[in-house]
Amino acid sequence: MKINKSAVLGLCILAICNSFAFAQKVSVQSPNKKINVGLFNQQNGDAGAWYLKVTYTEGDKTTEAISRIDLGLVRADQEFAKELAFVKAGKATPINEQYKAPHGKRSVRSNNANEVAVSFQNPDKTKMNVIIRAYNDGMAFRYEFPDKREAIAMKDELTSYSIPKETSRWMEKWNTANEGFYTAMVDDKVQQQEWCYPALFNTKDKACWFLMHEADLDRNYCGTKLSNVADATKYKLTFPNPRDGRGTGVVEPTISFPFKSPWRVVIMGNLQDVVASTLVDDISTPTLLKNTDWIKPGVASWNYWSSNHGTKDYKIVTKFADLAAEMSWPYTLLDWEWDSMANGGKLEDALTYIKAKGVKPLMWYNSGGNHTSVTSTPKDRMLTHESRVKEFTKLNELGVVGVKIDFFESEKQNMIQYYLDILDDAAQYKIMVYFHGCLVPRGWSRTYPHLVTYEAVRGAEWYNNVPDFTMAAPEHNTILPFTRNVIGSMDYTPVTFTNSQYPHVTSYGHELALSVLFESAIQHLADRPEGYAALPDAPKNFLRTVPNAWDDTKLVDGFPGKDVTMARRKGNDWYLAGINGEQLEKRKTIKLDFLPEGVKYKLTLIADGAYDSLFSTQYLVVDKSSSIDVRMLRRGGFVASIIREQ
């Protein structure tokens, strides 16, 4: 019998194609067709274990970004993982929503994606849906139990991302305050432990970057983290540790029905796409606030960095009020221990002085309760609804417009509920809120736009704490724009020219650049008044006028750990900033092709001078076709204001 090799080959190809088509049960593609999310069955059938695969296409090249995202939940009564039967998949539905944000990296935003809802049932015939979305700048999915029933504990989430060792990554070791350094790892250097969000990855072929996170966390769940303890190549979503929050609160969340989990979010594309993304906010629940006019982003003076107990001293408090007034900053913060103020006046005296200067006061609070061992006062005034109502009523009377609440130390469900209770009550009294010693952003600034910033970063405060921040800060600063600050406001407390307890080795140009590179809706500029008073006119005037809420954001150039240059727009004007995280001087030619066509601008470039504490200033007229040459010292930096000509 003669075998037709061509026919056999054709049948083999057909069999492979049919197998692939059968295995990939569902596929959803981003509107720009660059990102594809496929749903696969591990047993190549209609029941069993299920996983997602994510690919990224740029031009004619397709990269397998994430080869496998395992799916599954374990409730106290039932499991939804190994024996899930496929029921149906809905038609791809476009999500097309426009909204405005009062602060952040972009004022006008869009929530545009293609969505597919997939229905499963377990052997007990209980339904579970997986909602999958593909965005132009990433993908997301969440679990849903559509039926109503009594509340029950979630024992585990089995979501797990398979990432080969050849993928480069920048990750922060888990800590409850989210205030660690990022570690760069690849191949045999990949460590096994628990990790904070967000985590940054770059595929082996360098074609695709992605940032892993979660969004739209609500009272019905706990915060999760990533763990590759069991397998170096698998990052499993993991519930909080029992010891977090000094052991208060339960690890396993109790969920009510119908139930939707937080979104599991992967921001994806090139580095420009990642830095510009607002996906974590876009996918989160819209605000119910009808009036947000009272939410005013701005710059604040802050005395803690230069004097840890400065708010106990009335004269120091008034000096920082004078600084805010002199620099045209709208706010000054009274940090911890304001209830012990002395040396010329008490709290009410200080508030009267501050307001007489045309400055608005902000005040610190200890989150209180047994979840923190920090005894600094005032403590416990935020702990219950009744105590918050009493305190917010008083703050309204005193003219205080915002509160900084510190030391949460847990992401268990009880603490998530506490965060959101604070935000609900603060909204009723038109009090802006920012959290310290806290979780990283989860999209809450869309739902609660009066949440103006979070710490959750190893920031300049650490010059107070340990000597090792001094030499680590330059590189660390170049990683944050690609990681932590992508997902929401970041209260790093930047722009310090003098020294705290431990010195900085960043140049003055580097420090000035952080006012643009780091986005925070309340930007605490942390130096003492003498540090700003000693500045030349150009950098001083720059700090008087630099915005901190933006209409657009673009990454111009950079690589995490090496250097970064970013452009941000406010109205018709642009602000450009760059820093060098390395020990060698660098020269860059920066194209201004992000400017609109046919418009002239006045550019003021403030760059490193001959040595770290000197500036060099140039004035130019530029347009879209222009470029500028910039020299950055080792650990140096620069800024430029690009003001449209009238």
| pLDDT tens per residue, range 55-73 | 999 999 999 999 999 999 9
519 confidence band (pLDDT: 50, 70, 90): very high
Residue 180 and residue 172: Cα distance in Å, rounded? 6
Q: What is the per-residue pLDDT for 190?
A: 98
Segments in 429-536 forming alpha helices (H)? 444-447, 469-479, 508-517, 529-533
Fold for the domain defined by 24-282: Beta-galactosidase; Chain A, domain 5 (2.70.98)
pLDDT of residue 525 exceeding 60: yes
Residue 554 and residue 483: Cα distance in Å, rounded? 15
Evaluated on CA atoms 602, 607, 609, 612, the torsion sign reads positive
Give the pLDDT mean for 248-270: 98
The alpha carbon of residue 226 and the mean position of all alpha carbons in its chain are separated, in whole angstroms, by 16
User: Is the distance from CB of 436 to CB of 491 less than 8 angstroms?
Assistant: yes
| pLDDT tens per residue, range 124-177 | 999 999 999 999 999 999 999 999 999 999 999 999 999 999 999 999 999 999
Domain locations in the chain? 24-282, 298-546
Q: What is the per-residue pLDDT for 7?
A: 40
User: Quick one: what percent of the chain has pLDDT higher than 90?
Assistant: 96
Q: What share of the chain is helix, strand, coil (3-state, %, to 5)?
A: 20, 35, 40
| pLDDT tens per residue, range 16-34 | 333 344 468 999 999 999 9
Close Cβ partners of 4 (under 8 Å, ≥ 6 residues apart): none
Residue 522 and residue 432: Cα distance in Å, rounded? 10
9 confidence band (pLDDT: 50, 70, 90): very low
Ramachandran angles phi, psi of 188, nearest 5°: -75, -5
User: Is the distance from CB of 231 to CB of 249 less than 8 angstroms?
Assistant: no
pTM of the prediction?
Answer: 0.95
Residue 115 and residue 134: Cα distance in Å, rounded? 7
User: Is the distance from CB of 281 to CB of 445 less than 8 angstroms?
Assistant: yes
pLDDT of residue 6 exceeding 90: no
Cα–Cα distances in angstroms (integers) from residue 399 to residues 24, 430, 486, in the given order: 59, 11, 33
Q: What is the per-residue pLDDT for 12?
A: 38
- For the 298-546 domain, the top CATH level (class) is alpha beta
Q: What is the per-residue pLDDT for 646?
A: 79
Residue 367 and residue 281: Cα distance in Å, rounded? 25
Q: Is 18 exposed, middle or buried (0-12, 13-18, 19+ CB in 10 A)?
A: exposed
Give the pLDDT mean for 361-390: 96
Segments in 482-569 forming alpha helices (H)? 508-517, 529-533, 537-545
Q: HSE, CB side, 13 Å, CA atoms: give it for residue 274.
A: 29
Give the pLDDT mean for 513-522: 98
pLDDT averaged over every residue in the chain: 96
Q: What is the per-residue pLDDT for 523?
A: 98
Q: What is the per-residue pLDDT for 24?
A: 87
pLDDT of residue 597 exceeding 70: yes
pLDDT of residue 357 exceeding 50: yes
Q: What is the per-residue pLDDT for 640?
A: 98
Q: How many CB atoms lie within 10 A of CB 128?
A: 24
326 confidence band (pLDDT: 50, 70, 90): very high
Q: What is the per-residue pLDDT for 432?
A: 98
The alpha carbon of residue 35 and the mean position of all alpha carbons in its chain are separated, in whole angstroms, by 22
Residue 497 and residue 613: Cα distance in Å, rounded? 8
| pLDDT tens per residue, range 270-282 | 999 999 999 999 9
320 confidence band (pLDDT: 50, 70, 90): very high
Per DSSP, what are the bridge partners of residue 62? 57
Q: Is 382 exposed, middle or buried (0-12, 13-18, 19+ CB in 10 A)?
A: buried
| pLDDT tens per residue, range 195-225 | 999 999 999 999 999 999 999 999 999 999 9
Q: What is the per-residue pLDDT for 23?
A: 67
| pLDDT tens per residue, range 447-498 | 999 999 999 999 999 999 999 999 999 999 999 999 999 999 999 999 999 9
